Amino acid sequence: MPDLLLELFSEEIPARMQARAADDLRRLVTERLVEAGLVYEGAKAFATPRRLALVVHGVPVRQPDLREEKKGPRVGAPDGAIQGFLKAAGLASITEASVQKDPRKGDFYVALIEKPGQPANEVLRALLPLVVRTFPWPKSMRWGERSARPGALSWVRPLHGIVATFGPETEEPDIVEFTLDGIASGNTTRGHRFLAPAPFTVRRFEDYAAKLEKAKVVLDPERRRDMILADARNLAFAQGFELVEDAPLLEEVAGLVEWPVTLMGAFDAAFLKIPDAVVRATIRNNQKCFVLRDPATKRLAPRFILVANTEAADGGAAIVAGNERVIRARLADAAFFYETDLKTKLEDRLPNFAQIIFHEKLGTQAQRIERIERLSVELAPVVGADQVQAQRAARLCKADLTCEVVGEFPETQGLMGRHYARAQGEAEAVARAIEDHYKPQGPNDLVPTDPVSVAVALADKIDMLVSFWAIDGKPTGSKDPYALRRAALGIIRLALVNRIPLSLHAVAAWHWENVLGQQFPAVAEKIDNLMEFFEDRLAVQLRDQKARHDLVAAVLSARSLGEGHTLISIVDRVEALGKFLDSDDGRNLLAGVKRAANILRIEEKKDKAIYSSAPDPALYRQAEEEDLAAATEIARDAARAAVATEDFAAAIAAIAKLRPHVDAFFDKVTVNVDDGALRANRLALLNAIRDATRVVADFSLVGG
Amino acid sequence: MSTAPQIVPMKAVETPVHLRPQRSFQGLILALQSYWADHGCVILQPYDMEVGAGTFHPATTLRALGPNRWNAAYVQPSRRPKDGRYGKNPNRLQHYYQFQVILKPSPPQLQDLYLKSLFAIGIDPLLHDIRFVEDDWESPTLGAWGLGWECWCDGMEVSQFTYFQQVAGFECAPVAGELTYGLERLAMYVQGVENVYDLNFNGRDGDDTVTYGDVFRQAEEEYSRHNFEHADIVMLFEQFRMAEAACRKYLAAGWDGAGSARRHLMAQPAYDQCIKASHVFNLLDARGAISVTERQSHILRVRELAKACGEAWLKTDGGGGLR
């Protein structure tokens, strides 16, 4: 079966957009092919800086013929209805329709519409221009003479040529002919801008890729990445260094070249007095070059790897020299920034923060730092940190934001603060906390464990959340511009990893009342809402840790963070509950409790009543009722007492004692008796079981 | 019997050594000017006002608007008060030269034209690594944006290449292509010089050499002092207000006629005041006299002026509004 080859040849496509664009091209073309009844065998798309290319293998030569029966109006319907039907079905007269008998509703007309399938080439002629016109570039533009006209074509950068061929392997393929805003499709393309600029014709994908390769274009981005990586590693190894691998940079660099040529340059080792992170950021961000490491010292080596887009006549000597010049100038700038930064102590930068707005409703950065500082002092004893150190670290934790280096390379925030803190003789715990208070940033980021770091990291994030809840700025849907979900997850991970006995509710309420209070009076419902937000994040986190979702839901619904419980207690409870339910006692009790809950649910619905009052001992008729009543009371009180001290093993042991009494009750006692008072009392007994177990978890949410 | 005057065939004059871009800053400028003159541009002289970039020249900002064809090239001294380094930094200057090319509509072979201009100043693409790296351009003060690249030569940014999509808040129809060459940087590259002040300005040898430092170092020192320490803040704020008021006044006074005959008679004088306000703002910014919030509001005020000037320009002959 025939193949489609499509190439959209343009001026340089931004590297960051290429992968997505190739994928979109494949998806859009193949989806429309399938919609048109052309089911293909395979498709692959590619991108270079100057082209998007797509091959679709095994496209049928033509669409299948369509036969469709269209039901019309009943025989004898008004003329308007008949005419409408003829028009819709494409019939000239009603005699072309057949009549279908229907003894019940009356006879009606049926038209048989036969639509012969079109040749695939025709379908493509209509389909490809549509895909180009509606292509979802993140940003696109108009250009040239035609840009003055309404409806002018827009593309990511000016589009210059379109290759579109279609045909089977054995024959000369046809051109899929169409014209887009003055650009006619054809079978001609070009190679590398400088090394092989002459146009050449192509037939199908196989010769297209091969001819491009001859014309110094590696079409497949994955291959370009592999070539660069292998060459970079080899160059590094040959000099006794190792490449500092950097996947996003590799991806970007592979998107900047059609013919990757990897070269090595050097810079003055004197620049290595600048922190490695700054050297790397300078070379990486500004020059898109890789850095190398000395395997012995693990520090950067005075070398870099650049990837050129050409095989230069002099073997790359001028290119290397040029890049070295630029990197020298850039590193000189960085060194200047670094040395300038060192001249100002971190605390002397703080007055500037009174001028910097953190958020229009939440005031300045200075106010935010003060809030973090007060909360850090409060949290220090809870996490076992030195209060003075926690306060100092909190006060300085944002100071590096006004440094030159951080201004130049925002990703070095925190890291530079740590450097400058060390340089001015701060305690190591303080310096480390300045860097680590931003952590953990994502689900895979390392969680700080040093107590001072933990205190400031928690304070930073809790202040964020409480502040934004105070101004009703919680995230909605996919909108989370201040990364509050990430902050909440960070708090959860900090608390769990370090097993901090921290009542989030108490801390949030304290912070709101004592620190934010003057600006925004604390509102109990908003704090409750914040706790619910945390519970949602916790459920997500525990699910990611492969905890049983139903157990998490059962525990969270039984006793929420809102009542002051700690994050670790919830996790411990989920674990204890899981173990209990694996035991014989657990399984049986679960069955009993679920049975009670089911009966209650059904009867409460039937009676439109809730049986939540305490059972009346005067109405007990059987010993099992009395037994159960006594046992539930004991179990509930014991469980409550144990939960209050966060002793979940004990709480569950107390609940476990209910099992024989529940079993005996269901064995001997009938709930739904005719005597209404008796029935109501027995339902109240069932409720007592439900209440007692809810102290630990809502068993009705447990699956299985 | 008269004899026909004998025609002596002219020999192509080779560029004298002292005018070659590899040796001479002024030679570089001349080479670019003659290249773009050869390609149909009018060669203009710098605009006689202080501006932050060549884009502010009315030959770009205003001429980019409207349907008329327009091809021009010029050198524009550009002032960035904040970038002053008292003549001590080898790469940063508060006053430098941009070479600006504006072609409307953008020709289909603009990238090739650009690459040939590099060749004309001695950058051979078979020896160097020339790359187009995404860089979308936006000028908040001009209400303008476009898509394009920074052009790299061996890892150094030597030009900005932009397809204007919008200027002064108006869609460009047709789109203009703008090329901006950073002349000092380019000259340092082709001359192989590490420090801008060491650039050979006139291409002469020995005692006849005039360097960039000879011409500009003292100015850099003096203006850095002025920009950072002494520029009169009270006066500058006043100048900002005056320029803003004057711009609005001239705009209001310039409108003439009504309906389809409505036109503007003073778009350019009004725009001068917009340029002035923008430069005064830059000076105030360098003096640290503008807080973060004020900064945004000042940028917005200049943008409003630029938009109003663009609107007026579109109702002039040059803006194609009288056809």
In which domain, by residue range, is A335 found?
Answer: 221-342
Report angle CA A603, A606, A611 to the nearest 5 degrees. Answer: 45
Query: Which of B154, B294, B297, B323 has the highest number of chain A CBs within 10 A, making it the mutation to test binding with A?
Result: B154
Query: Do A643 and A530 fall into the same domain?
Result: no
Contact at CB, B292 and A356, closer than 8 angstroms:
yes
Q: Is residue A352 part of a domain?
A: no
For residues A592-596, give the mean pLDDT.
86
Are B113 and A236 within 8 A, CB to CB? Answer: no
Contact at CB, B174 and A355, closer than 8 angstroms:
no
Contact at CB, A158 and B133, closer than 8 angstroms:
no
Tally of CA atoms within 13 A in the half-sphere of B195 that contains its CB: 11
**Is the Cα torsion angle B161, B167, B170, B175 positive or negative in sign?**
negative
Query: Do A508 and A372 fall into the same domain?
Result: yes
Choose from A283-287, A407-411, B212-216 the range with maximum mean pLDDT.
B212-216
CATH of the domain at A395: 1.10.3210
Number of domains in chain A: 5
pLDDT band at A114 (very low <50, low <70, confident <90, very high): confident
B132 part of contact set with chain A, CB < 8 Å: yes
Q: Is residue A565 part of a domain?
A: no
Are A394 and A373 within 8 A, CB to CB? Answer: yes
Count CB pairs under 8 A between chains A and B.
120
Q: Which helix (H) or strand (E) holds A501?
A: none
Number of Cβ within a 10 Å radius of residue A479: 7
The larger pLDDT score, comparing residue A562 to residue A54, is at A54
Domains and CATH numbers, chain B: 17-228 (3.30.930.10), 232-313 (1.20.58.180)
Contact at CB, A141 and B147, closer than 8 angstroms:
yes
Q: What is the 3-state secondary structure (H, E, C) of chain B?
A: CCCCCCCCCCCCCCCCHHHCCCCCHHHHHHHHHHHHHHCCCEEECCCCCCCCCHHHCHHHHCCCCCCCCEEEEEEEEEECHHHCCCCCCCCCCCEEEEEEEEEECCCCCHHHHHHHHHHHCCCCCCCCCEEEEECCEEECCCCEEEEEEEEEECCEEEEEEEEEEEECCEECCCCCEEEEEEHHHHHHHHHCCCCHHHCECCCCCHHHCCEHHHHHHHHHHHHHHHHHHHCCHHHHHHHHHHHHHHHHHHHHHHEECCHHHCEECCHHHHHHHHHHHHHHHHHHHHCCCCCHHHHHHHHHHHHHHHHHHHHHHCCCCCCCCCC
Please give the single-letter amino acid code of residue A330: R
pLDDT band at B149 (very low <50, low <70, confident <90, very high): very high
B266 CA: distance to closest CA in chain A (Å): 26
pLDDT digits (tens, 9 = 90+) for B290-306: 876 678 889 999 999 99
Please give the single-letter amino acid code of residue A484: L
Say yes or no to pLDDT of B278 above 90.
Answer: yes
pLDDT digits (tens, 9 = 90+) for A639-685: 888 888 878 888 888 888 888 898 899 889 888 888 888 998 999 99
Buried b / exposed e across A605-626, counting CB within 10 Å, b at 16+?
eeeeeebeeebeeebbeeebbe
C-alpha span between A615 and A596 (Å, rounded): 15
Query: Do A193 and A50 fall into the same domain?
Result: yes
Contact at CB, A139 and B136, closer than 8 angstroms:
yes
Query: Do A616 and A598 fall into the same domain?
Result: yes
pLDDT digits (tens, 9 = 90+) for A432-462: 999 999 999 888 889 999 999 999 999 999 9
B90 CA to centre of own chain: 22
pLDDT digits (tens, 9 = 90+) for A534-548: 988 988 888 888 888
Q: Is residue A487 part of a domain?
A: yes
pLDDT value for A586: 86
Q: Where among A312, A342, A372 does a domain terminate? A: A342
Say yes or no to pLDDT of B284 above 70.
Answer: yes
pLDDT value for B4: 53
Query: Do A108 and A168 fall into the same domain?
Result: no
pLDDT band at B10 (very low <50, low <70, confident <90, very high): low
pLDDT digits (tens, 9 = 90+) for A235-283: 999 999 999 999 999 999 999 999 999 999 999 999 999 999 999 999 9
Q: Which two tokens stand for residue A130?
A: 């549509």
Helix (H, G, I), strand (E, B) or coil at A263: strand
For residues A22-38, give the mean pLDDT.
96
- Contacts of residues A166-169 at CB distance under 8 Å and 24 or more positions apart, as own/partner, are A166/A2, A166/A3, A166/A4, A166/A5, A166/A59, A166/A120, A166/A121, A166/A124, A167/A2, A167/A3, A167/A203, A167/A204, A168/A1, A168/A2, A168/A3, A168/A61, A169/A3, A169/A204
Q: Is residue A551 part of a domain?
A: no
Q: Which two tokens stand for residue A687?
A: 């409720």
B120 part of contact set with chain A, CB < 8 Å: no
pLDDT band at A524 (very low <50, low <70, confident <90, very high): confident
In the DSSP assignment, the letter for residue A516 is I
Give B292: exposed, middle or buried? Use CB within 10 Å, 0-12, 13-18, 19+: exposed
In the DSSP assignment, the letter for residue A160 is E
Q: What is the 3-state secondary structure (H, E, C) of A397-426?
A: CCHHHHCHHHHHCHHHCCHHHHHHHHHCCC
pLDDT value for B106: 98
pLDDT value for B2: 47
A600 CA to centre of own chain: 42
C-alpha span between A179 and A186 (Å, rounded): 10
A255 part of contact set with chain B, CB < 8 Å: no
pLDDT digits (tens, 9 = 90+) for B176-189: 999 999 999 999 99
Query: Do A8 and A153 fall into the same domain?
Result: yes
Residue among B128, B163, B173 whose CB faces A319 most closely: B128
B125 part of contact set with chain A, CB < 8 Å: yes
- pLDDT, averaged across chain A: 91
Contact at CB, A322 and B129, closer than 8 angstroms:
yes
Query: Do A444 and A502 fall into the same domain?
Result: yes
Number of Cβ within a 10 Å radius of residue B81: 23
Are A555 and A574 within 8 A, CB to CB? Answer: yes
CA-based Rg of chain A, rounded to a whole angstrom?
A: 36
Query: Which of B175, B194, B195, B285 has the highest number of chain A CBs within 10 A, making it the mutation to test binding with A?
Result: B175
B136 part of contact set with chain A, CB < 8 Å: yes
Q: Is residue A348 part of a domain?
A: no
Q: Name every chain B residue with its beta carbon within 8 A of the beta carbon of A141.
A: 146-147, 163, 165, 175
Contact at CB, A308 and B129, closer than 8 angstroms:
yes
Nearest residue in chain B measured CA to CA from A140: B147
For residues A38-62, give the mean pLDDT.
96
Q: Where among A166, A193, A214 does a domain terminate? A: A214
pLDDT value for B1: 45
Please give the share of chain A, as a percent, with pLDDT higher than 70.
99
Q: Which helix (H) or strand (E) holds A315?
A: none
Query: Do A271 and A208 fall into the same domain?
Result: no
> Could you tell me which of A325, A148, A704 has the C-alpha nearest to residue B106?
A148
Q: Which two tokens stand for residue B16?
A: 């004298």
C-alpha span between A513 and A665 (Å, rounded): 50
Choose from A112-116, A404-408, A413-417 the range with maximum mean pLDDT.
A413-417
Nearest residue in chain B measured CA to CA from A161: B108
Look at the block and give the residue holding tokens 């009346």: A616
> What residues contact B146, with CB distance under 8 A and at least 6 apart?
A141, B136, B137, B138, B162, B163, B164, B165, B166, B178
Surface of A (141-170) touching B: CB under 8 A: 141-148, 156-158, 160
ipTM surpassing 0.85 = yes
pLDDT value for A572: 85
Q: Is residue A671 part of a domain?
A: yes
Contact at CB, B146 and A141, closer than 8 angstroms:
yes
Are A153 and A159 within 8 A, CB to CB? Answer: yes
Say yes or no to pLDDT of A702 above 60.
Answer: yes
Task: Find the DSSP H helices in A471-523.
Answer: 484-497, 504-511
Of A330-344, A434-448, B278-292, B304-318, the range with the lowest mean pLDDT is B278-292
Query: Do A109 and A126 fall into the same domain?
Result: no
CA-based Rg of chain B, rounded to a whole angstrom?
A: 22
Query: Do A98 and A143 fall into the same domain?
Result: no
pTM of the complete model beyond 0.90: no
pLDDT value for A548: 84
Are A370 and A396 within 8 A, CB to CB? Answer: no
pLDDT value for B63: 97
Say yes or no to pLDDT of B119 above 60.
Answer: yes
Are A654 and A638 within 8 A, CB to CB? Answer: yes
Q: Is residue A560 part of a domain?
A: no
pLDDT digits (tens, 9 = 90+) for A358-410: 887 888 899 999 999 999 999 999 999 999 999 999 999 999 999 989 988 88
pLDDT band at A77 (very low <50, low <70, confident <90, very high): confident
Say yes or no to pLDDT of A213 above 50.
Answer: yes
Query: Do A27 and A125 fall into the same domain?
Result: yes
Q: Where among A490, A523, A545 does a domain terminate? A: A545
Q: Is residue A24 part of a domain?
A: yes
Query: Do A454 and A383 fall into the same domain?
Result: yes
**Is the Cα torsion angle A501, A506, A510, A511 positive or negative in sign?**
positive
pLDDT band at A558 (very low <50, low <70, confident <90, very high): low
A357 part of contact set with chain B, CB < 8 Å: yes
